Amino acid sequence: MFMKEENKKLCEEILEEVAERHKIKIEELSVMPDHIHTVVGLPPTMSVSQALNLLKGASARELFKRKPIFRRRYPRGHFWSPGKFYRSVGDADIETVTQYVRNHQLQQISLDDFPHPALPAT
């Protein structure tokens, strides 16, 4: 979904708006073609699950609103997968985690340069 730069930028913009509205501080954000990595700071009264639900739900609603054509691909309204993975930064310093998110995008871009053995070459 986020192969197009326009869609990627829109997703980033919407996630930043949603985060600001809910007082979630985005430290680092990397929108990949099929998933997202982010490092966030949460208000002390917000659980990680609550933050994920807010970010995923509100961003999906806003993406469908701004790009109605997305509804064709996701007619049931489920933009994000139900799965999630989160991890506290407590056992790693913030700079290490931020660098991982920042560099993961660069690593993904370089991996995309290599053909996948199961896919035909383009």
Where are the strands (E) in 32-117, listed by range? 36-41
Q: Where are the domains of the chain?
A: 5-112
Alpha-carbon torsion, ordered 43, 100, 84, 27, to 10 deg: 20
pTM of the model: 0.73
Pick the CATH number of 5-112 from 3.40.50.300, 3.30.70.1290, 3.90.950.10, 3.40.1280.10: 3.30.70.1290
**DSSP secondary structure letters along 91-114:** GS-HHHHHHHHHHHHHHHHHHHTS
Over residues 32-71, the pLDDT tens digits come to 888 888 889 999 999 999 999 999 999 999 999 999 988 8
Over residues 58-108, the pLDDT tens digits come to 999 999 999 998 888 887 778 888 888 777 766 566 777 677 667 765 554
